[in-house]
Amino acid sequence: MADNHSKETRSYNMSRVKGKNTKPELLVRKFLFSKGFRFRLHDKNLPGKPDIILPKYKTIVFINGCFWHGHENCSYATIPKTRTEWWHAKISNNICRDQSAQDKLRGEGWRVIVIWGCELKLKQRVKTLEELPNKITIGKT
């Protein structure tokens, strides 16, 4: 099946996909800030350039898009019908890179929390956000 867009249009569309300050990320940041958590953002010196770093709690939060990071068994993570081999390779590489970064962070003593985009959809948002402070402060006195 051929792409419905020209190469230039597809390239433009893909260039508009944001890597930071996405709506899910802003939602989590606003929630954490309102609960008194202070954090850093997108530290290039840490593996995987985490979305949110809470140094006081030695905790990292990744907010992953289901499609781009290959969320297993998620309806938002379907592979496009065109160029399926390329997309499988792309998303598989993303998954491997994510796992490698998380393993390195855990090896350095960080607690890693991954929040998926689908967990921030309207029906599940409140539950996901309410559980987050407990995940961050586990073991902290």
| 73's tokens | 């068994």
> Measured between alpha carbons, how far is residue 27 from residues 89, 113, 125 in Å?
30, 16, 10
| Amino acid making up residue 35 | K
Q: Which parts of the chain register pLDDT below 50?
A: 141
User: Given CA atoms 95, 91, 23, 44 in this order, what sign does their dihedral have?
Assistant: positive
pLDDT digits (tens, 9 = 90+) for 83-93: 889 999 999 99
Is the domain defined by 19-137 classed in CATH 3.40.50.1370?
A: no
DSSP string, 50-61: -SEEEGGGTEEE
Q: What pTM, to 2 d.p., does this model score?
A: 0.83
